[in-house]
């Protein structure tokens, strides 16, 4: 996500919010009092507008304010939400969703028109929504987003106010999981049209999920409260959630130990040994479908030379990064798709995976010399990174040293997240530290990142054979054959040294033992709707 990590998904931005003394230890409310959850959310949200949001921390808040046609259960599996049931045509191209009767937080009913309005709106070219392409599986969505067709041609219709019919360009077996993403959420048309861009401000913000927005103080906190009109409000146990942008992980750990935070997303890696020894009951290190990688701009010389890209990948000491620097138990990455992805056998890896590192360096130097570089002619370049927490800068600094060993001198360029993502999406970089957290459990969510024309194809990779395999996979109904086609595509990308995979993430966070209902899952989706706070 990506970026939903990092934007996907892995943006680490913002500043540590100051705790509101009135809320300190609020989860210790007396029996029968207001139950408040203090949530360290890792970063300042990019936006609370589902059409402009980008990060996983945005998703955490927005998916507690809204529900789409489906949502996640405690284990991250898709379950009915705005739709109470659905059926699919035999060819997999037409999905019919039957809405459950429920209301917006202002009391107005949610209807099929709210979905049609939202989906057409996010595809408007003028909006430049960063995740508009997520709807491209829907009939005519791509053409509409590119200004070639009008919004009315979109493959979504409403035979009646309580039925949404979606027609696809190709079968999408992952569609229900897809419907849990904020890109597909409905919007309150009556509010958006009345308030314009101000609809996302507290006081105007109307949602249909378990919580409602009451405060949004930039770089400090976002507050949401239980929505009394939510269709399952009787089972929502938390009255108020305060999200803090806790990017200073050392400070967040201190606040967590002091009882000012009940949950913290992201750990201070320098303190991992102390945490393991002293508060192991709070520590969560769980596999998630997220990959960290380095994008290399193939539209610029000399990075159009596969020898340069392979040399950079060879010299990246992944084992040192995960075992010595990060120390969170993350697997080093030698492929593009994380392990454990549904309906994907995988089996691909960079050919030097089992080569001793000294031999990797030897081959990397040889490739650099073949490309015209060496001790007397070093490659001088730049590595673009996001604005990272201080301890997160250790990895780029280590990579800088690793590449120095193969005649590459790297200047690290750090930008604020908005500028960073503008640069990489416009291919205005040489090498960029990037990452992606899967928005749904399917290999295509990762492999589509380097499809020709995708805005997240930072390295400007173009290979018609690769695109053709993705196209074939899109129309293949047999899940085993589809997975084989996707694996063939990944093999091509690995052979072409499209990007430099670094490691696969694990969720790393701290959870108080009294916070019940928090469950690990590969999608790293944790809906507060399912949580409760025990007396403590």
pLDDT value of position 416: 77
- Mark whether 301 and 171 lie in a shared domain: no
Cα dihedral 427, 429, 432, 434, rounded to 10, equals -30
Domain residues for the domain of 93 are 67-188
Residue 380 within any structural domain of the chain: yes
229 closest CA partner among 250, 206, 208, 248: 208
Domain tally for the chain?
A: 2
- Mark whether 165 and 308 lie in a shared domain: no
Element (H, E) at 504: strand 499-511
Residue 41 within any structural domain of the chain: no
Sign of CA dihedral 418, 197, 69, 117: negative
Domain boundary among 188, 222, 250: 188
437 closest CA partner among 95, 127, 3: 3
pLDDT value of position 189: 97
Residue 42 within any structural domain of the chain: no
DSSP conformation class of 334: S
What region does 86 belong to: left with phi over 0, alpha with psi -120 to 50, or beta?
A: beta
pLDDT value of position 390: 62
pLDDT value of position 391: 60
Write the CATH number for 91.
3.90.76.10
pLDDT value of position 271: 92
- Mark whether 166 and 294 lie in a shared domain: no
Residue 151 within any structural domain of the chain: yes
pLDDT value of position 454: 84
- Residues in the chain predicted with pLDDT less than 70, given as ranges, are 1-32, 387-392, 418
Tell me the per-residue pLDDT of 135-144, one tens digit each, with 9 for 90 and over.
Answer: 999 999 999 9
Domain boundary among 188, 214, 245: 188
Write the CATH number for 327.
3.10.105.10
pLDDT value of position 56: 83
Residue 406 within any structural domain of the chain: yes
DSSP letters for 162-203: TEEEEEBSS--TTHHHHTTSGGG----HHHHHHHGGGGGSTT
Residue 282 within any structural domain of the chain: no
Overall pTM surpassing 0.95 (yes/no): no
What region does 272 belong to: left with phi over 0, alpha with psi -120 to 50, or beta?
A: alpha
Residue 498 within any structural domain of the chain: yes
- Mark whether 177 and 309 lie in a shared domain: no
């Amino acid at each position: 996500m990506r970026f939903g990590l990092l934007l996907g998904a892995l943006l680490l931005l913002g500043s540590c919010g100051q705790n509101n003394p009135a809320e300190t230890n609020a989860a210790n409310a007396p029996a029968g009092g207001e139950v408040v959850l203090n949530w360290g959310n890792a970063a300042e949200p990019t936006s609370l507008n589902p059409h402009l949001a980008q990060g996983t921390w945005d998703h955490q808040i927005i998916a507690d304010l809204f529900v789409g046609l489906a949502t996640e259960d405690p284990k991250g599996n898709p379950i009915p939400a705005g739709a109470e049931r659905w059926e699919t045509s035999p060819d997999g191209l037409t999905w019919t969703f039957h809405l459950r009767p429920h209301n917006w937080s202002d009391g107005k009913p949610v209807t099929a028109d709210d979905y049609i309005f939202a989906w057409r709106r996010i595809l408007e070219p003028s909006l430049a929504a960063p995740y508009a392409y997520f709807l491209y599986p829907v009939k005519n969505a791509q053409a509409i987003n590119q200004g070639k067709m009008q919004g009315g041609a979109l493959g979504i219709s409403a035979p009646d106010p309580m039925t949404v019919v979606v027609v696809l360009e190709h079968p999408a077996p992952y569609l229900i999981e897809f419907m849990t993403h904020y890109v597909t959420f409905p919007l309150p048309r009556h509010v958006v049209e009345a308030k314009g861009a101000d609809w996302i401000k507290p006081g105007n913000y109307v949602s249909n999920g378990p919580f409602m927005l009451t405060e949004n103080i930039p770089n400090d906190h976002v507050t949401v409260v239980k929505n009394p009109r939510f269709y399952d409000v009787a089972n929502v146990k938390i009255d108020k959630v305060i999200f803090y942008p806790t990017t200073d992980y050392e400070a967040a750990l201190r606040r967590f130990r002091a009882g000012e935070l009940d949950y913290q997303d992201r750990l201070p890696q320098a303190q991992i040994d102390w945490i393991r020894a002293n508060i192991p009951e709070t520590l969560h290190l769980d596999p998630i479908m997220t990959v960290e990688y380095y994008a290399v701009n193939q539209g610029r010389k000399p990075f159009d030379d596969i020898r340069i890209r392979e040399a950079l990948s060879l010299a990246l000491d992944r084992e040192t990064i995960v075992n010595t620097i990060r120390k969170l138990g993350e697997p080093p990455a030698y492929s593009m798709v994380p392990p454990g992805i549904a309906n994907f056998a995988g089996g691909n890896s960079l050919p030097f995976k089992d080569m001793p590192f000294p031999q990797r360096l030897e081959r990397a130097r040889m490739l650099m010399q073949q490309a015209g570089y060496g001790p007397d002619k070093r490659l001088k370049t730049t590595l673009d990174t996001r604005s990272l927490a201080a301890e997160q800068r250790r990895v780029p600094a280590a990579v800088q040293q690793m590449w120095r060993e193969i005649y590459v001198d790297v200047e690290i360029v750090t930008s604020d997240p908005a500028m960073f993502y503008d640069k990489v999406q416009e291919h205005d970089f040489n090498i960029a530290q990037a990452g992606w957290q899967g928005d749904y459990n399917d290999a295509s969510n990762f492999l589509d990142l380097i499809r020709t024309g995708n805005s997240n194809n930072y390295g400007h990779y173009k290979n018609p054979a690769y695109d053709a395999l993705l196209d074939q996979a899109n129309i293949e109904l047999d899940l085993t054959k589809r997975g084989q086609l996707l694996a063939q595509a990944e093999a091509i990308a690995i052979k072409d040294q499209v990007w430099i995979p670094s490691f696969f993430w694990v969720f790393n966070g701290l959870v108080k033992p009294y916070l019940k209902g928090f469950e690990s899952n590969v999608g790293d989706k944790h809906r507060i709707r399912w949580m409760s706070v025990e007396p403590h």
